[in-house]
């Protein structure tokens, strides 16, 4: 890519990005489970990132310094679906039921505020149905 790619600093409200990163690290830890050391490093990283969720939760696009340029490509309208997504994958990777509880609570909170346009649709701006499908194997109804 031959164009400038500036770096954004997200120190306030990028819960949606945290959820995506946690989901990716957790899923990767499962993919590489045969390499126990690498898998553990990925899980540990996912847990550290999840533990760094800001107290002021929101989307990365809420703060100009963090997401102003990103709004042109990925204008996230909610963070709760990504938070539930990340917590679900972290539970699947670690079997720590605290993550399942967070995923469940966040899922129901997000589901209650889901827009009618997003209901039943899985796409970059709504992962709630993906959370439901992914969590089927947990034997816990979300």
Measured between alpha carbons, how far is 3 from 17 in angstroms, rounded to an integer? Answer: 23
- Answer whether residue 113 shows pLDDT above 60: yes
pLDDT tens digit string along 3-61? Answer: 777 776 766 667 888 899 999 999 999 999 999 999 999 999 999 999 988 666 777 66
* Location of structure tokens 């996912």: 46
Q: DSSP alpha helices (H): ranges in 15-138?
A: 15-31, 36-51, 64-67, 80-94, 97-112, 128-134
List of residues 6+ apart from 28 with CB closer than 8 A:
42
Does 82 score more than 70 pLDDT? yes
pTM value is: 0.83
**What are the domain boundaries of the chain?**
15-136
């Amino acid at each position: 890519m031959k164009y400038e790619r500036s770096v954004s600093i997200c120190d306030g409200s990028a819960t949606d990005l945290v959820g995506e990163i946690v989901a990716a690290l957790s899923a990767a830890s499962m993919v590489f489970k045969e390499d126990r050391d690498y898998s553990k490093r990925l899980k540990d990283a996912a847990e550290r990132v999840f533990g760094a969720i800001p107290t002021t939760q929101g989307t990365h696009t809420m703060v100009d310094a963090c997401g102003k340029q990103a709004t042109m490509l990925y204008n996230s309208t909610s963070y709760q679906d990504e938070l539930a997504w990340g917590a679900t994958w972290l539970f699947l990777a670690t079997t720590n039921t605290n993550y399942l509880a967070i995923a469940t609570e966040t899922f129901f909170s997000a589901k209650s505020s889901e827009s009618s346009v997003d209901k039943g649709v899985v796409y970059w701006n709504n992962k709630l149905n993906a959370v439901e499908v992914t969590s089927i194997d947990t034997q816990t109804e979300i």
